[in-house]
Amino acid sequence: MTVAISIHNVPEGTAISIPLNSLGVANWKLVWWAIFSSLPQPIGAVLAFGFV
């Protein structure tokens, strides 16, 4: 499951980075936006694990 989520995050981060790149956002900011957009997933996984 962890590998599947990790693989899923690659196109998700790319989908976030491409429009920001076209707006002229710096590359280091693109990395942080991609990471920031993925933060809810592990938080939600921990919460879901607690309820199951």
Which token pair is 32? 């942080």
Q: Residue 1: pLDDT above 90?
A: no
pLDDT score for 25: 93
Domain limits for position 46: 2-51
**Number of folded domains that form the chain:** 1
Instruction: Quote the pTM value.
Output: 0.63
pLDDT score for 45: 85
* CB-based contacts of 35, cutoff 8 Å, min separation 6: 13
pLDDT digits (tens, 9 = 90+) for 13-30: 889 999 999 999 999 999
